């Protein structure tokens, strides 16, 4: 008998997660530690506490406790915008005429427009708890900066955002959302920091990069009394906070009596993918269940599929700790025609280790194919997806079409991380037929690899 599965499954408040799941606890090969960029020794908690909030440092270094309780204040805040729905994409299935069942976990129904709020609110909470005055951060496309602005407004913290200059200019509305939440937004590189002035002197016409904005934000955090730096992806702590996505998803699947075979997510720094897959990955690591995990990245910024697994700088200014990760080199910047996010040169250490251990697959996709999927999805499922999220949509559709060929009734889950309301410049390019693809040559990549630190 066919089960009657609703389009959308929401958890009740009492079904919501009470603890985050720390996938590192179940990993046999732990992610490599952060290293001091001078001495190449593992960073101590004390060293990290100059940059990050104390309790976040503990979470960053904790690779043994599988569950970390979620503070009550965060559970309360979650109730304002969570749970996010697990959606059965009936209309997409029908349009594709596939025997596959397609589900997506939709994280876009909050003003930040993405899953980024899940970690922003936690980092702001610990900053407030520590008695800080404010935090600094960088933002590229602007989702993280928006999320952090919202979180800081909620806790009454000051929020200084360094926004990659090209985004600052092309996305004035993102900037205004952050200002509406009380944040100050500075285009990066700027004249307000040493590292910004240095980069501007060396590259006068630069439109900025995430790595450069990170350097500026860290400099201001370390040099200002009562401030710390917060980062929206890549770090272990961020994947921990994002595990709320996967935990909710897992409970929702249990509620409807289903189980995914394939789990797909887009991967920039890895926070959404890491959060979505972590409890499922835990089952795989413990031998309880098997799943296929697929990380999807842009062909123009292919850190997993074409990068090196090596220690690298997290930022352009080389002021941050070194992280072992799949990387294209901290000097790598995607070509100018790259429209969406997912432009970070490296990948979360946790995901890098899982990928290196062959517990997860990765594919890269070209952006015109991504926007084709985005448009198709928008028209069929009614949600205008973020370009980032559309990478996952592309591969979910491809997998569903494979099922159509083979007749397999697989259950496909993907993370729909956010909405594309602030990405209409990219959509306009696509609508006008002016979007192009670019795949870096081996020579392009070699330049990035040449900047890897000598270890």
- Asked if 18 interacts with a copy of itself (CB under 8 A), we say no
38 contact partners, CB below 8 Å, separation of at least 6: none
Which of 81, 291, 438, 449: binder of a copy of itself (CB under 8 A)?
81
Enumerate residues 412-441 that contact a copy of itself by CB under 8 A: 419, 421-422, 424-425, 427-428, 430-431
Residue 454 and residue 69: Cα distance in Å, rounded? 39
| Nearest alpha-carbon partner for 145 in 126, 158, 159 | 159
Enumerate residues 102-161 that contact a copy of itself by CB under 8 A: 109-111, 113, 150, 153-154
Enumerate residues 182-241 that contact a copy of itself by CB under 8 A: 182
- Asked if 337 interacts with a copy of itself (CB under 8 A), we say no
Least separation, in Å, of the C-beta of 55 and a copy of itself?
Answer: 23
Residue number, 88 or 324, with CB nearest to a copy of itself: 88
Residue 240 and residue 218: Cα distance in Å, rounded? 22
- Asked if 15 interacts with a copy of itself (CB under 8 A), we say no
Residue number, 113 or 260, with CB nearest to a copy of itself: 113
The helix, strand and coil proportions of the chain, stated in percent and rounded to the nearest 5, come to: 45, 20, 40
Residue number, 387 or 448, with CB nearest to a copy of itself: 387
The DSSP result for 263-314, as a single string, is EEEE-SSSHHHHHHHHHHHHHHHTTS---EEEEEEETTS-HHHH-EEEEEES
Residue 20 and residue 69: Cα distance in Å, rounded? 6
- Asked if 176 interacts with a copy of itself (CB under 8 A), we say yes
Residue number, 123 or 350, with CB nearest to a copy of itself: 123
Which of 15, 69, 169, 180: binder of a copy of itself (CB under 8 A)?
180
| Nearest alpha-carbon partner for 103 in 91, 88, 92, 83 | 88
Enumerate residues 348-377 that contact a copy of itself by CB under 8 A: 375
Residue 393 and residue 262: Cα distance in Å, rounded? 13
Q: Which two tokens stand for residue 216?
A: 């500026």
Stretch that binds a copy of itself, among 37-45, 158-166, 233-241, 381-389 (CB under 8 A): 381-389
Which of 200, 217, 294, 383: binder of a copy of itself (CB under 8 A)?
383
Which of 224, 380, 445, 449: binder of a copy of itself (CB under 8 A)?
380
Hey, which residues does 411 pair with through a beta bridge?
101
- Run of H or E residues at 426: helix 424-431
- Asked if 401 interacts with a copy of itself (CB under 8 A), we say no
Q: Using the Cα atoms of residue 59, residue 155, residue 79 and residue 416 in order, give the sign of their dihedral.
A: negative
Residues across the chain: 455
Tell me if 148 sits within 8 A of 111, measured CB to CB: no
| Nearest alpha-carbon partner for 435 in 391, 388, 372 | 372
Tell me if 269 sits within 8 A of 346, measured CB to CB: yes
Number of chain residues interacting with a copy of itself (CB under 8 A): 42
- Asked if 42 interacts with a copy of itself (CB under 8 A), we say no
Q: Where are the beta strands (DSSP E) in 70-165?
A: 86-88, 101-106, 134-139, 158-164
Residue number, 336 or 425, with CB nearest to a copy of itself: 425
Residue number, 280 or 371, with CB nearest to a copy of itself: 371
Least separation, in Å, of the C-beta of 52 and a copy of itself?
Answer: 24
Which of 33, 37, 62, 91: binder of a copy of itself (CB under 8 A)?
91
Residue 349 and residue 298: Cα distance in Å, rounded? 19
Least separation, in Å, of the C-beta of 110 and a copy of itself?
Answer: 6
Which positions lie near a copy of itself, rule CB under 8 A? 6-8, 10, 12-13, 79-81, 91, 109-111, 113, 150, 153-154, 172-173, 176-177, 179-182, 375, 378-384, 419, 421-422, 424-425, 427-428, 430-431
């Amino acid at each position: 008998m066919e089960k009657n599965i609703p389009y959308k499954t929401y958890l009740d408040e009492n079904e919501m997660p009470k603890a985050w799941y720390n996938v590192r606890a179940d990993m046999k090969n732990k992610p490599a530690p952060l290293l001091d960029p001078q001495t190449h020794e593992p960073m101590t908690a004390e060293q990290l506490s100059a940059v990050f909030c104390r309790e976040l440092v503990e979470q960053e270094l904790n690779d043994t406790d599988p569950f970390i309780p979620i503070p009550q204040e965060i559970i309360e805040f979650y109730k304002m915008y969570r749970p996010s729905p697990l959606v059965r994409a009936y209309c997409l299935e029908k349009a594709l005429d596939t025997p596959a069942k397609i589900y997506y976990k939709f994280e876009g129904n909050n003003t930040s427009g993405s899953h980024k709020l899940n970690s922003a609110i936690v980092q702001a909470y610990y900053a407030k708890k520590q008695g800080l005055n404010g935090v600094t951060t960088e933002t590229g496309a602007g989702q993280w900066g928006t999320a952090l602005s919202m979180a800081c407004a909620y806790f009454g913290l000051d929020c200084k955002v360094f926004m990659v200059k090209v985004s600052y200019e092309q996305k004035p509305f993102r900037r205004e959302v952050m200002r509406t939440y009380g944040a100050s937004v500075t285009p990066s590189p700027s004249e307000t920091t040493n590292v910004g002035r240095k980069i501007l002197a060396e590259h006068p016409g630069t439109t900025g990069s995430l790595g450069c904005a990170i350097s500026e934000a860290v400099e201001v955090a370390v040099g200002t009394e009562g401030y710390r730096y917060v980062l929206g992806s890549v770090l272990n702590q961020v994947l921990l906070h994002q595990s709320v996505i996967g935990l909710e998803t897992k409970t929702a699947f249990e509620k409807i009596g289903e189980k995914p075979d394939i789990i797909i997510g887009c991967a920039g720094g890895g926070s959404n993918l890491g959060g979505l897959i972590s409890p499922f990955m835990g089952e795989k690591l413990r031998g309880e269940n098997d799943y296929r995990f697929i990380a999807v990245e842009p062909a123009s910024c292919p850190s997993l599929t074409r990068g090196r697994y090596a220690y690298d700088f997290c930022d352009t200014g080389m002021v941050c700790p070194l992280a072992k990760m799949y990387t294209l080199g901290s000097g790598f910047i995607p070509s100018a025609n790259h429209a969406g996010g997912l432009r970070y040169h490296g990948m979360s250490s946790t995901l890098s280790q899982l990928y290196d251990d062959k517990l997860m697959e990765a594919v890269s996709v070209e952006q015109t194919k991504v926007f084709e999927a985005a448009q198709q999805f928008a028209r069929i499922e009614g949600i205008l997806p973020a370009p980032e999220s559309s990478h996952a949509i592309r591969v979910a559709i491809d997998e569903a079409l494979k099922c159509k060929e083979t007749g397999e009734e697989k259950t496909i889950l993907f993370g729909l991380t956010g909405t594309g309301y602030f990405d209409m410049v990219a959509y306009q390019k696509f609508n006008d037929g002016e979007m192009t693809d670019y795949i870096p040559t081996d020579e392009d990549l070699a330049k990035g690899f040449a900047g890897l630190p000598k270890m």
